[in-house]
Structure 1
Amino acid sequence: MNGLVEGRVVVVTGAGRGIGRAHALAFAAEGARVVVNDLGAALDGRGGEAGPAQQVVDEIRAAGGEAVANTDDVASWDGAASLVRAALDAFGGLDVLVNNAGFLRDRMLVNLAEDEWDAVVRVHLKGHFAPLRHAAEYWRGEAKAGRTRAARVVNTSSGAGLLGSVGQGNYSAAKAGILGLTTVAAAEFGRYGVTVNAIAPAARTRMTEKTFDMAAPDDGFDAMAPENVSPLVVWLGSEASSSVTGRVFEVDGGRVGLADGWRHGPQRDKGARWAPAELGPVVAELLAESVDPEPVYGA
């Protein structure tokens, strides 16, 4: 390791297991001081215990790194504020926020209950916004005081947010919302020295055990290992990434790619109001000139 983020203070949410744990360990290995946040909840978000976060902290400290555990609920306004304060109290500042926490309550839309919708949207979308909001308030204050930090935010979306996923309407909507939040935050926070990017990772975790083979290969490269995602996140959290903001990266195995968002496509302008009956041929022409959308996962 070459100390790419030496001395930087990093918060990783949902860092007790899976991809978040891999991020926390990777940042620490590159010299960062890490706040390991995890509520310790079950896969569906219920319950909670301090063990997972503390175990990751113990791993980091055993390897000679610096870390503290935090079990605040990042989708709670006060919990998110407390998380940011934890970084300031423990390490005197905050340079990087990696929003990663989340859980699943999968169900086909026709069977999806209100509480299943609310819980998933809350943890993913509000659980990104609330820490982002409190961190940005700190960074704005630092900039106004003449202490602009080279701050970084890395949000976590998903292929489900990019393309949709059958049986995951709540999750797909929340993850798509994170993409919109990312682009707006990048546009607004640049004046404070903050870049904001998102990743859409694929890896073997509790959340993907029904999608990917949970067994690692006996030998060779483990393309689904969570650790494959973290190098890009560490780089995005470094000062070297200052020119990159408002972008979405797909990352898994040894693959890193850029995801192109919604763009203006072909159009027709009559210069006056259309009559409904005129629009059938117009829409047919537009569709003929456009690229077909990527298929929804599971369709």
Structure 2
Amino acid sequence: MDAEALRTFVTVAETGQFQAAADALGVSQQAVSKRIAALERHLGVMLLVRTSRGSRPSPDGQVFLPHAKKVLAVVEQAEQAVRPGSRPLRVDVLNRRISPAQAVHRFYRSHPEMELDVVTLSTENAAQAAQAVLEGTVDASFRALSADQVPAGISVERLMDAPLELLVGPGHPLADAPHVGPAELAGHRIWIPGIMPGTEWAAFYRTLSEAFGLSIDALGPDFGPEALMDTLAESDSLATLVGRGDRYLWPQAHDLRRIPLRDPTPVYPHVLLFRSGDQHPVLTALRDYLRTAGPRTPQDVWAPEWVETA
């Protein structure tokens, strides 16, 4: 059933005039007449009685009128539910400890009136996350996506480069270094448990290893960041890599050291994925915020060439 025809019938019934209804709806009187005639043919009844003084609902029209109003109210609710800005922006941050989650949190603290729904998708890789954005499961996602994985209908913007830092215990040979070059890590064991084959972060660390001759492995079970911190604190040879904006906490007695990598600075490129043409006002505000208030990218950046940037 045509919602515009229903709206036209209700307007005529309330105004009592075809011309008044036409004026209210912004259409011609002829268009009003055609809509009413089509609705009456569809229902097989006469809905309006025409008189010299205007139009009024017929007995069937009087019965139909409250139902038509209810249908229009439901249609309005459905339209409102998906109108830009009428619902929270649903953002996938991949992991609540890493820099995208922290940046979105800072955005929310500076814009508390903005409605956000922050999630971590259970998708295995960036391509699946892009598909989730395309299908509307989420409105946006932070991923490191290669150009050949960007589906039609998805736009990307590289808004956050997270510089990597070496995280070591106090007994590690590099524990007191003010900064370290990535090539200096050759020969040191870098342990990053939980790297899943086929994911964008697995591809990132593989490319990083090949570029600087590093030994990065994910051997053994992943018992979570707390267990990793405990292991680092006890080891004089083990190290891991974290993003500068990542939030990890450990007991003060662990005395772990975060050491910047420089010359060049490897960055994990968090690219924002969103549906092309999406006009959600919170998405627009988030993108503007990250462009202006996001972390500054170092000058000597290294990132994989395969990452899509725009």
Compute the TM-score of the two structures, normalised by the length of structure 2: 0.28
Instruction: Flag the structure with more relative contact order, 1 or 2, with Cα contacts below 8 A and sequence separation at least 6.
Output: 2
Higher strand share: 2
TM-score, length-scaled by structure 1 = 0.29
Larger Rg: 2
